[in-house]
Amino acid sequence: MKTTLCFAEPQGIETELLVALAADAQTEKGPDANPAPVLLTADEALKSATAAVLATGEFKAGANETLLLHAPAGVKARRLLLVGLGKQAKLTVNGVRSAAGTAVRFAKPRNLRELTFLLPVAGLPDAAVARAAVEGALVGDFDPDTYRSDRKDKSIEQLTVAASAAEKAAVEAGFAEGVVIGESQNFTRSLVNEPGNKLTPTILAQRAAAMAQEVGLGWEIHSTEKIKELKMGAFWSVAQGSEEPPALIVLRYEPEGVKEGPVLGLVGKGITFDSGGISLKPGDNMEKMKYDMAGGAAMLGAMRAIALLKPKVRVICVVCATENMPDGKAQKPGDVQTAMNGKTIEIINTDAEGRLVLADGLLYAKQLGATQLIDAATLTGACVVALGMINAGVFANDDVAYANFEQALKVSGEKFWRLPIGEEYAEMIKSDIGDIKNTGGRWGGACTAAEFLHVFAEDTPWLHLDIAGMAWVESAQPWIAKGPSGTGVRSILEWVRASA
């Protein structure tokens, strides 16, 4: 998708589809209250062209509600699409992000290849709205049907964002950021979308290296020999059951002139296919376990954005990539493994493998110099049971690190909910034969998994993102296709920027 920014008057823009936003201005409640949609623009020609239809009350301007007008009077655009933002009193930047995705997904099946998105005049920050609009449009343009033999690419070829010139410099900066972030989120989604036979750990490493070269990141790729040399027994215990060799992916961002201060460690789970190992998963929906590397992919997407947006802080990224398979060499329930720091782990369930690779990943990030840590993983079904597919889980051992993450969420628009860790959960993962065990039983599963990782983060300020319920969109929404979501990319990026 080619993206451009313009500052022309809306009524004079020649385009296949002009998209304008509307809101419900109704303040009264009750059965006799009528919706009062208002167009969020100062352009009188657009207001005149839509006055009659808005007066009917047929279009209520609900969130992501759409209404198409052909050949609107007094406007050069051939079509005018109205997209609702919901209640005017509750407008958000994230609502604009969703509306832009809704507009793109409305256009794609109608063979419209070009559209102009009109930024709203709604009291929202101009730069943030410009950024959100282009992010939402890019995310909305992604479809997962990569391998259909009869695939007809319906991507939007040209997106123009039309803005007021009042805050031109701020809008230009926000727009440029939005392009980088939207493309980085889609980079993550393209990785998560790949089937396990097309994205082995080796191929994931190759794609990470190619991206790093493209955007100017330092990178190293290691495999079995290095993992054994580093005594990453937890990581290797998962990898040993697969014919595919593992990959230890390391990316480095070193901003010019920054030699002191924090070093942020980004650690991602990169299980390119998870069968469950000897503790084999049920067959139903096992095909989705190709996305068990979504945490690692989110870190790679965030690193792409970091390299291009250049925050003034050093960042190290570690992704531990492998398959989890039930081979004759695979680890068994009851085995005891030794992590990089000498901690011994009793394996209760081989399907609790993500925390094993992350354990060594966290330790290695610290060895490489990380002074603050954040990890991301599709770690537990328990987190989905707790929060549904509405919020992802976040755990923290440090309130300052978490405060920075809360600040990041205000910009990213993603939904995370803090869940607890602590001594009571630590008691649940104590082992009779070793130091800890890799599951704490049925109850509080997301919390005991996080507490397992806390053992390896130790006192280093650390955040754990459990994105199991949010990494895959189970059914298409008006603003996003069914399939990989790219959850985490925006929030991780903003946490890095807040921490800088």
The tens digit of pLDDT for each residue in 217-250 reads: 999 999 999 999 999 999 999 999 999 999 999 9
Whichever domain contains 491, its CATH number is 3.40.630.10
Q: What is the mean pLDDT of residues 447-473?
A: 98
Predicted local distance difference test score (pLDDT) of residue 30 = 66
Domain boundary among 99, 132, 164: 164
* Whether residue 324 is found in the same domain as residue 360: yes
Total count of domains within the chain: 2
Among the listed residues 189, 290, 304, 355, the single catalytic one is 355
Helix (H) or strand (E) holding 58: none
- List all residues 6 or more positions away from 71 whose beta carbon is below 8 Å from its beta carbon: 78, 79
Angle, alpha carbons 273-416-484 (nearest 5°): 35
| Tokens describing residue 299 | 């870190």
* Whether residue 154 is found in the same domain as residue 230: no
* Whether residue 204 is found in the same domain as residue 157: no
- pLDDT confidence bin for 300, thresholds 50/70/90: very high
Higher per-residue pLDDT: 73 or 35: 73
Predicted local distance difference test score (pLDDT) of residue 32 = 63
Bridge-based pairing state of the strands 462-466 and 372-377: parallel
Structural domain containing residue 439: 186-499
- pLDDT confidence bin for 33, thresholds 50/70/90: low
Q: Quick check: is 171 in a domain? A: no
Angle, alpha carbons 269-180-157 (nearest 5°): 115
* Whether residue 483 is found in the same domain as residue 367: yes
Least confident of 35-49, 303-317, 321-335, 459-473: 35-49
- pLDDT confidence bin for 27, thresholds 50/70/90: confident
Whichever domain contains 145, its CATH number is 3.40.220.10
* Whether residue 160 is found in the same domain as residue 227: no
Among the listed residues 60, 113, 281, 418, the single catalytic one is 281
* Whether residue 416 is found in the same domain as residue 457: yes
Interval 119-157: pLDDT, tens: 998 889 999 999 999 999 999 999 999 999 988 888 999
Q: Quick check: is 241 in a domain? A: yes
Q: Quick check: is 177 in a domain? A: no
Secondary structure of 157-226 as H, E, C letters: CEEEEECCHHHHHHHHHHHHHHHHHHHHHHHHHHHHHCCCCCCCHHHHHHHHHHHHHHHCCEEEEECHHH
Q: Quick check: is 492 in a domain? A: yes
Q: Quick check: is 10 in a domain? A: yes
How much of the chain, in percent, has pLDDT values that exceed 70?
99
- What is the pTM for the complete model shown? 0.97
Domain boundary among 164, 196, 225: 164
Rounded Cα gap, residues 234 and 494, in angstroms: 30
* Whether residue 389 is found in the same domain as residue 283: yes
Q: Quick check: is 176 in a domain? A: no
Write the burial class of residue 312 (CB in 10 Å: 0-12 exposed, 13-18 middle, 19+ buried).
exposed
* Whether residue 363 is found in the same domain as residue 488: yes
* Whether residue 330 is found in the same domain as residue 409: yes
CA nearest to 15, candidates 96, 90, 72, 100: 72
Residue 10: pLDDT above 90?
yes
For tokens 């002009």, name the residue: 18
For tokens 């394996």, name the residue: 347
* Whether residue 278 is found in the same domain as residue 401: yes
* Whether residue 204 is found in the same domain as residue 340: yes
* Whether residue 375 is found in the same domain as residue 447: yes
Predicted local distance difference test score (pLDDT) of residue 121 = 87
Are the C-beta atoms of 113 and 158 separated by less than 8 Å?
A: yes
Q: Quick check: is 350 in a domain? A: yes
Interval 376-391: pLDDT, tens: 999 999 999 999 999 9
What's CA 12's distance to the chain center, in Å?
37
Are the C-beta atoms of 201 and 270 separated by less than 8 Å?
A: yes
Residue 366: active-site member = no
Chain mean pLDDT for the chain? 97
| Tokens describing residue 57 | 């009350």
DSSP labels, 104-154:
HHHHGGGT--EEEEEPP-SSS-HHHHHHHHHHHHHHHH--S-TT-TT----
Residue 252: active-site member = no
Q: Quick check: is 26 in a domain? A: yes
For 342, other C-beta atoms within 10 Å of its C-beta total: 9
Interval 170-215: pLDDT, tens: 999 999 999 999 999 999 999 999 999 999 999 999 999 999 999 9
